[in-house]
Structure 1
Amino acid sequence: MFFTLTQALAVVCTLVVAIAGWCGITPAAYAQDNTVDYTLTDLSFRDFSGKQLSGTSFAAAEMREANFRKANLSKTILTKASFLRANLSFADLSGTFADRVIFDGADLSNAIFTDALLTSSSFGEANITGADFSGAIIDRFQVAQMCKYADGVNEITGVATRDSLGCR
């Protein structure tokens, strides 16, 4: 039996929601009744600054150079999304499921990634000044790379970026 990419993604998302439900976690995709689904869309150069997007799905979406400054992206599904050179400064990404996401060249200054799942995601040349990664799950290689230039204190949470990454 063969599945299309959309069918396979739907199966994966269904499994994530089911597992979250079994664990007593509110599934992110169902956190709001009026949630818009941006899965597999091209949102490049769009302006989402200050928007309330909590619980939305941006799975496999292209958001090259989009503006998410001060947006609420908490508890969103970002799997396989691309935020290449996007502005996520002061954005709330707490509790996001961000597996295999590209944050290369993005402005993540003062962003909040607390308790986010960031496995296999890349942060090459991203501005992480003041970003808070407390409790986030990040690949050791990415942490080691970010610790080379991590600096600042998050203006909202008061947590130092280096401390939130566990840098020595």
Structure 2
Amino acid sequence: MNLKKIITRVFIFTLAISWVGSIFAMPAWSRNYNKEVLTETDFSQQDLTDASFDHTNLKGSDFSHANLTGVRFFGANLAGTNFEGANLRGADLESTRMTRANLNDAVLEGAFMTNVMLDNANIEGADFTDALMSVRTEETLCEIASGTNSTTGRNTKDTLFCP
């Protein structure tokens, strides 16, 4: 076999391996859902670690008991969304609309929650340890805070530093 054929076969083999490797390189849970309309979608019990939902309409969707560690929801419409029992550690919830959202027993440890609309949200048993939010949001949540998180064992009022 001449050198040109060997080099060509090595090159084709390398391309094939690179292509197959690229299929498996990006985990499914880090998918980009940015700017999509996914109203009333069922994401319950899924591992969506590091996924991105920036500016996505997720009104009425179900993320109950999902792993949402590090997920970005920047500017998303999360009105009426169910996050019951979800892991939202380190999630970016900045500038989201979370009116009537269910955060019952959710873990929001270290979440970014500046400029969040949480009107009529259910936060019973939610853990807000080290979550970054405005003083006004914290005070508003303290008025309705109750319960203890079943995963972390922390009292919701304590995680918000309520008086």
- TM-score, length-normalised on structure 2? 0.82
Are residues 1:33 and 2:26 paired? yes
List, as ranges, runs of 4+ consecutive aligned residues in structure 1 with deviation greater than 4 Å: none
CA distance in 2, matches of 1:45, 1:33: 26
CA distance in 1, matches of 2:122, 2:93: 18
Query: How far apart are 1:72 and its partner, in Å?
Result: 0.7
Q: 2:102 aligns with which of 96, 100, 107?
A: 107
1:65-144 superposed matches below 5 A: 65-144=60-139
Query: How far apart are 1:33 and its partner, in Å?
Result: 2.0
CA distance in 2, matches of 1:105, 1:96: 19
Q: Mind listing any 5+ residue stretches in structure 1 that lack a counterpart?
A: 1-31
Q: In structure 1, what is the equivalent of residue 38 of structure 2?
A: 43
Q: Mind listing any 5+ residue stretches in structure 2 that lack a counterpart?
A: 1-24
SS of the residue corresponding to residue 144 of structure 2 reads: coil
SS of the residue corresponding to residue 163 of structure 1 reads: helix
Q: In structure 1, what is the equivalent of residue 4 of structure 2?
A: none
Q: Deviations over 1:67-110 (max 9, x none)?
A: 11001111011110111011100001100122101111011000
Q: In structure 1, what is the equivalent of residue 15 of structure 2?
A: none
* One-letter amino acid matched to 2:150: E
Q: Percent identity?
A: 29
**Larger of the two Rg values belongs to structure:** 2
* One-letter amino acid matched to 1:143: E
* One-letter amino acid matched to 1:33: M
CA distance in 2, matches of 1:160, 1:44: 32
Q: Deviations over 1:9-54 (max 9, x none)?
A: xxxxxxxxxxxxxxxxxxxxxxx82221000011101100000001
CA distance in 2, matches of 1:134, 1:98: 15
Considering fraction of residues, name the structure with more helix. Answer: 2
* One-letter amino acid matched to 2:70: K
CA distance in 1, matches of 2:92, 2:42: 22
CA distance in 2, matches of 1:130, 1:97: 20
CA distance in 1, matches of 2:62, 2:112: 22
